Structure 1
Amino acid sequence: MAEQLQVFGFWESAFSRRVELALKLKGIEYQYFEEDLPHNKSHLLLQYNPIHKKVPVLVHNGNPISESLVILEYIDENWKTNPLLPQHPHDRAVARFWAKFIDDKVVVAVVKAAGSEGEEREKAVEEAGEALGALEKELGSRTLFGGERVGFVDVVGSVIVGWVPAIEECFGFEVLRSDKFPNLMKWSEEVAKHGVVKEILPPKHEIVAFMEANWKF
């Protein structure tokens, strides 16, 4: 019996796009279901993710998995081709740490800056800068976090490549600067030109247009 694999996502969601990116990097075929977000969620999405009621959801042979980082690890454990995580246990733990760091520190601070003004925005931009500084140091002189190929942290970091610049443009502040983070800027350019990334990430102007119309704080 052939495996059945479905992804429930939304085109503008960095979190669902990273799931598709992982599957494409591994050459795994899947069926994609586009959700009509933010308000018209399908009954299948609510059925498969009744707790959070959000994308992404991966359904493998009828078994749903939610939360993007959990899904990425599930994908890497089940399909061994083109591994995303390193082989050594310590290196794997380090990759998991920085992936969670991106979501908990970088994304949270940038979204906070988008939804605030004045001193509160300045503080959020500073927090985002500190988080990016830590990533800059961790990346060092490497081209990719994954070494010679796109890996787990690079996939998670696609939110920095595609969405942070769009948020900056849409809400009128700057945090990802080449003078402060030259390594990250080079890394971002390297990730952005990867064939699979170009296929999966939406164009910046489309993300900006969606944010302008729908991101209300």
Structure 2
Amino acid sequence: MPDSPARNTGAHLVYAELKRRILSLELKPGERIYEPAMASALQVSRTPLREAVRRLIAESLLEQQPTGGVLVPVLDEAAISELYEVRAAMESLMARNACLKATPADIEVLRGILERNEALVRFADEAMKLGMSLHATIADIAGNSWAARFHGQVSSQMERYRHFTNSTQERRDRALAQHRTLVEAVAAGDPEKAAKIAFEHVLGARDAAVLAMSGNGPTIS
């Protein structure tokens, strides 16, 4: 018998809220999920909670222990390096493709995002959101559905790490400068330059995150 719409909706809402808490680090890395306490906190029954937990385990955003417990995965430098290397390759591909497809209207949209980024570059959360918006817009322009699909999966995993990548004003200013150069390369229809800038930009974010996580840079509370 198929699940009822109400049940599906309940499980999806629980999933969305748990995912938000994991990605925002509200649920701390290494923290155990206690089913009765979490069901009570979310004011839901255990059935939609279990469905949401299973889905998050499948996405590697929760971790099933051999003992049966469920933990928020720890932040791992090896994992972040792998994720950013994969993302760098995809961003490079999408920047290259965007050069071949961008219209004057697309370029205006990208420049508008840059203007808002510049105005809000001193605000870490807003700068991060606008950077994500710029990359998402380039992905849309590129129009590679497979790259966009894989990019979305990797980006979801990386949400927990992004807070480390723009924790200083110096890093946010550098990212804005790289975004400007990237947009101008796309506007000029220079796929080699755009691909190179996109790749180096993502690896720079990786290095900033690893530095912060190692304790040699700013930390996130």
Query: Highest CA radius of gyration, 1 or 2?
Result: 2
TM-score between the two structures when normalised by the length of structure 2: 0.30
Higher relative contact order (CA 8 A, sep 6+): 2
- Bigger share in strand: 1
